[in-house]
Structure 1
Amino acid sequence: MTIPKTMKAMVLTGHGGLDKYQWHVDWPTPQPGRGEVLIRVGACGLNNTDVNTRSGWYSKSVDEATTGDAHEDVGSQDPSWGGRPLSFPRIQGADVCGTIVSVGDAVAPSRIGERVITDNWLRDADDPDNAAKAGYYGSERDGGFAEYTAIPSPNALAVNSDLSDAELATFSCSYSTAEGMLTRAGVTDHDTVLVPGASGGVGGALVQLAKRRGARVIAMASEAKHESVARLGPDRILARAPEDLRAALGDEKITVVADIVGGPVWPALIDILEPGGRYTCSGAIAGPMVTLDLRTLYLRDLTFYGSTVLDTEVMPRLVRYIESGAVKPALAATYRLEDLRDAQAAFIAKTHTGNLVVIP
């Protein structure tokens, strides 16, 4: 196929509000470098990293919940997930599904034509397990909010599935984040897992993937979204923020809290963990500043797990789940790429239950 010299792309020009996105119809099409492939993007999902990076929320100078608005003070040295400055302009978008249309040197031409999804963690080829050397696709390098995107060949994972591009674009970030959290916490069929924020992309993935491990799963979500959350298969659903969480749980013995919410409910989440329980976290959309009674931590022998850079086996395992039908996509809505601002506004407002995807 003939690859055009320019493409349509939504380009982030700096940290701030949605006005920092600029729509281009003649942005230079990337060329795959040595060891890279060029993907024609079929669909690209949205996630909290896109919002938080754009707004600068990751900076230690920001202590409020994720709002998606521009922050008055964004630290110049730590506004990204990795605590380092980004270079602009930048094309975001990590959750790509598409087709390989060109390859760089040292990549087999037979990869052309493969349908792929992306592994978003950009690793040092000589030291892949070193998290300190990891970057993120759509952050440290351009991503998929465009018609074409280039990525290292090992990060383009072939997938054999009857799901649509939009459905497949829901998996890379949300489901890998969830699987990474459950892997860190060692969740098994002996656990009862509490999932706050179960109506979101990662929360819904946590429900499915914890069930796949045989765990008992209790989801927390706003009442208006209970019906859609129920389709994911939790054993019970509670209100988003019960006035008395212990009373709402009754006799349930929570051994794992899998949290991306944080905020005001956080102390109650820790307080209901059983002795020896585990808390695993990969987000704080309701607020990053929380209060911990250290006596609860040490007297109950609790273990806390932060989860960001994934273990290398997580994404290949997720592809196997997808291909076997062990997990289902939670696609809420699709938007055109040029309407990314509207899609992100809806994502921030939690207008939908599940994942949002843009299509070039």
Structure 2
Amino acid sequence: MKLPDTMTAVLLTHHGGIEALEYRTDVPVPRPGKEELLIRVSAAGVNNTDINTRIGWYSKKVTDSTNAGGAEGFENAADADATWSGIPMSFPRIQGADVCGHVVAVGEKVNDTRLGERVIVRNMLRSYVDYRPFECWTLGSECDGGFAQFCVAPARETHAVSCDWSNEELASIPCAYSTAENMLHRAAVGAERVLITGASGGVGSAAVQLAKRRGAQVIAVSSSAKAKAVLSFGADQVIDRDADLPAELGEGSVDVVIDLVAGKAWPTYLQILKRGGRYATAGAIAGPISEIDVRTLYLKDLTLFGCTFQEDAVFENLVTYIENSEIRPLVSRKYPLANIADAQEDFLAKTYPGKLVLVPPQVEA
């Protein structure tokens, strides 16, 4: 296709509230480097990490929940450490950790047989940090992402997918499902009893499906209003998020906890773990500061996993699961890219289960 000179995109102009997002129609179309692809974006999922990055929640000066500053931002967030990497963000930035689209141009070292492929992009990129262990370059944070008509990505980390899914369904996979699969991978989850917090959201619903795929008995924590939806994801049992977990389940009753919430309830997760149990986390939407009784940790021989970096197999496995029809996301609603504020407000309000997806204006092929 003949590439236009400019495109529609949403620019993050600074750390702050929703007002920091600027919808533009005159952003230069990027061009792929030698080992990159240019993707015409069909859809891009809405994720907690995009909101956390916008509001500067990763800054150590912020101790509140995501929702406390999700709409207005945090005045005390420090730009110096408000990103995944701890390196100050360059503005303006096109956010969007999820990308689904079609390859429309390739760099000089990329085979042109890739033109036309429908693809998704690994959001925790490793190419730009030379595949060093425990380092990653995050799409939509350290480089421009999917909230635009076009996006550049490394060819090596852009995966063609063969399936009958909609673009919106595919756009639900990269961030949420890789985050969930990574926690299960790190904790080596198998046919055992697993508790999953935040189970109605994008990552939580993914974790339910992926844990069931591994043969686990899944106990999901969610609001009672979304219990039916969570059961439809495959959960064996749903417990209200305000319940007393040790009283409800019994102490030492769970093999693994997959946690996205943290906050004040965090100590109870260690209480319900069996001796030798495992805890994995990739989020703290209820607040990043929690108390730990170290005696519980060592007397029960527990293992705690913090999960950000992803081994190559995690994303590669997800593509296989899709093509083998082993998982399927729930897309509750899609929005035009121009309505990103409405999408993020609905996300923060936890209005819908599963995933919310943005669709940019489509460019003729």
Pick the TM interval, shorter chain: over 0.9
Match of 1:342 in 2: 342
Tell me, in whole angstroms, the C-alpha distance in 1 between the residues paired with 2:21 and 2:52: 14
Amino acid at match of 1:89: P
Return the alpha-carbon distance in structure 1 between the equivalents of residues 223 and 252 of structure 2: 20
Letter in 2 for 1:293: D
Name the CA shift for 1:125/1:70 in 2 (closer, same or farther; >3 Å): closer
User: What TM-score, normalized by structure 2, do the two folds share?
Assistant: 0.96
Counterpart-to-counterpart distance in 2, 1:311 and 1:177: 11
Alpha-carbon distance between aligned partners in 2 of 1:277 and 1:51, rounded to the nearest angstrom: 32
CA distance, structure 2, for counterparts of residue 126 and residue 277 of structure 1: 33
SS in structure 2 of the partner of residue 139 of structure 1: coil
Match of 2:77 among 74, 78, 90: 74
Instruction: Determine the structure 2 residue equivalent to 1:254.
Output: 254
Q: How far apart, CA to CA, are the structure 1 residues paired with 2:128 and 2:59?
A: 28
RMSD: 1.2
Superposed, 1:1-360 pairs within 5 Å as 1-67=1-67, 68=70, 69-124=72-127, 127-132=130-135, 134-189=136-191, 191-242=192-243, 244-250=244-250, 253-360=253-360
Quote how far apart the aligned CAs of 1:252 are: 8.0
Task: State the shift of 1:26 in Å.
Answer: 1.3
Normalised to the residue count of structure 1, the TM-score between the two structures is 0.97
Aligned residues: 357
Structure 2 counterpart of 1:55, one-letter code: I
SS in 1 for 2:79: coil
Identity of aligned residues (%): 50
What is the alpha-carbon distance in structure 1 between the residues aligned to residue 310 and residue 330 of structure 2? 21
How many Å apart are 1:131 and its aligned residue?
2.0
Residue 145 of structure 1 and its aligned partner are, at CA, apart by 0.2
Q: Give the aligned residue type for 2:203.
A: V
- The CA deviation string for residues 245-278 of structure 1, in whole angstroms up to 9 with x for no partner, is 1221159820100001001211111111100000
Partner secondary structure for residue 8 of structure 1: strand
Matched residues in 1 for 2:89 and 2:128: separation? 22
Farther-moved stretch of structure 1 (344-353 vs 249-258)? 249-258
For each residue in 1:220-268, what CA deviation from the matched residue of structure 2 results, as whole angstroms up to 9, or x when unmatched? Answer: 10000001111011111111120x2122115982010000100121111
Consecutive unaligned residues in structure 2, runs of 5 or more: 361-365
Q: Counterpart of 2:265 in structure 1: which amino acid?
A: V
- Over residues 124-148 of structure 1, what are the superposed CA-to-partner deviations in whole Å (9 max), with x where a residue is unaligned? 478414223x210111110010001
Amino acid at match of 1:231: S
2:109 alignment partner AA: A
The CA distance in 2 between the partners of 1:66 and 1:126, in whole Å, is 28
For residue 34 of structure 2, what is the amino acid of its counterpart? Answer: R
Q: Which amino acid aligns with 2:198?
A: G
Task: Give the residue type in structure 1 aligned to 2:334.
Answer: T
